[in-house]
């Protein structure tokens, strides 16, 4: 404790952090104030000045073309996240609590799969979905996201399962607890923080994803929100206030998740990527 107070006497690191924090926030500040300005105000390019009267109508103008995309994104992201976490947790359960000769090999296959760029499967995936007549459908996108995100979900949940107190689990086994009730009634309730971490990381990843969303959809009827935002950008050239309002609107969901569940978001990142 004395070490912390002693180190706190140094003020210059604090100054550096504040300077960097301001640099990090200026673009966001400009984005927010600009999203509330009129076209004339934007044309004046006084981006750091606050708006004379907040133009909430900009958000309405940006929301109507994005609405379908947001709904589509939720229709795709919610079931894909649920299934990825369910399938991933079952796999993690098996790999950690059952004797299995090839567990290390399967782990390797899963870890390797979690980090591959999507480009590596994009073309065959397009053809597979095309053959199954699932191109440009919700089911097709959900399937695509499951393939690329379930390995990461399994990885994060496995990290948390390993941390579950062993003595308690052993007691349950000695009392004759069967494997499935053990998973459902003991392991999952005990590992809620890990499951929530995996769920939010996968949720944010899918919601924010762009490449698959762009390549595997053709019509606005199923297109998720990120390609929709990209086309809004194309149709509103130099209408910065509308573009910024649109960018803010699509960020609301992941930012709320980040603000209210940041502890889980961070522990998910740590478990998934850094094995701390």
Partner 1 sequence: MMFKKSYGFIYLTPMAILVVVLYILIAWNLVASLTLWNGILPTWHFAGLKNYINLFTFNRFWDDLRHNLIWLVVFIVPTTFLGFILADFFSSMKRSEKVFRQIFLFPMALAPVVTGTLWAWVYDPGSGVLNSVIKAFGVNTARLGWIADPRIAIYCMIIAGIWQYVGFAVVVYLGAIRGLPTEMYEAARLDGAGRVRIMFSITFPNVGHGTLISTTMLAIFTMKVFDLVYIMTGGGPGDKTEVLPFLMYQIAYSQRDFGMGTAISIVILVLAAAMVIPYSRWAISKWVQE
Q: Under rule CB under 8 A, which residues in 169-188 are in contact with partner 1?
A: 169-170, 173, 179, 183
d(C-alpha 208, C-alpha 166), whole Å = 37
Within 5-64, which residues bind partner 1 (CB under 8 A)?
6-8, 10, 13-14, 16-18, 20-21, 24-28, 30-31, 42-43, 45-48
Q: What are the phi and psi torsion angles at 222 (to 5°)?
A: -110, -10
What is the DSSP code string of 172-239? HHHTT--HHHIIIIIIHHHTHHHHHHHHHHHHHHHHH--HHHHHS--STTT--HHHHHHHHHHHTTT-
Cβ neighbours around 151 below 10 Å, total: 22
The yes or no reply on residue 106 touching partner 1 (CB under 8 A) is yes
Of 53 and 174, which CB lies nearer to partner 1 in the complex structure? 174
Stretch that binds partner 1, among 56-64, 74-82, 92-100, 188-196 (CB under 8 A): 92-100
Total chain residues near partner 1 (CB under 8 A): 106
The yes or no reply on residue 120 touching partner 1 (CB under 8 A) is yes
Residue pair 146/87 in contact by the 8 Å Cβ criterion: yes
The yes or no reply on residue 93 touching partner 1 (CB under 8 A) is yes
The yes or no reply on residue 115 touching partner 1 (CB under 8 A) is yes
Binder to partner 1 among 90, 134, 139, 188 (CB under 8 A)? 90
The least distance separating partner 1 from the CB of residue 50, rounded to whole angstroms, comes to 15
Stretch that binds partner 1, among 53-61, 64-72, 166-174, 184-192 (CB under 8 A): 166-174
d(C-alpha 231, C-alpha 265), whole Å = 29
């Amino acid at each position: 404790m004395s070490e912390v107070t002693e180190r706190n006497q140094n003020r210059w690191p604090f100054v550096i952090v504040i300077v960097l924090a301001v640099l990090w926030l200026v673009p966001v500040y400009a984005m927010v104030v600009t999203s509330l300005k009129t076209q004339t105000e934007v044309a004046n390019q006084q981006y750091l000045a606050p708006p004379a009267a907040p133009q909430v109508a900009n958000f309405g103008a940006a929301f109507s073309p994005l609405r379908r995309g947001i709904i589509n994104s939720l229709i795709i992201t919610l079931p894909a996240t649920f299934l990825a976490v369910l399938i991933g947790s079952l796999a993690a359960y098996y790999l950690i609590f059952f004797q299995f000769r090839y567990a290390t090999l399967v782990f390797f296959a899963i870890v390797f799969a979690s980090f591959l760029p999507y480009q590596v499967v994009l073309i065959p995936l397009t053809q597979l979905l095309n053959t199954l007549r699932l191109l440009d459908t919700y089911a097709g996108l959900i399937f695509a996201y499951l393939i690329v995100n379930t390995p990461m979900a399994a990885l994060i949940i496995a990290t948390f399962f390993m941390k579950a107190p062993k003595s308690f689990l052993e007691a349950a086994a000695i009392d004759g607890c069967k494997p499935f009730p053990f998973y459902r009634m003991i392991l999952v309730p005990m590992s809620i923080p890990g499951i929530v971490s995996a769920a939010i990381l996968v949720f944010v990843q899918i919601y924010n994803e762009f490449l698959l969303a762009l390549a595997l959809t053709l019509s606005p009827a199923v297109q998720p929100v990120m390609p929709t935002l990209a086309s809004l950008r194309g149709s509103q050239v130099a209408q910065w206030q509308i573009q910024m309002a649109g960018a803010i609107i699509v960020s609301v969901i992941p930012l709320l998740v980040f603000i209210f569940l940041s502890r889980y978001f961070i522990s998910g990142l740590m478990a998934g990527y850094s094995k701390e």
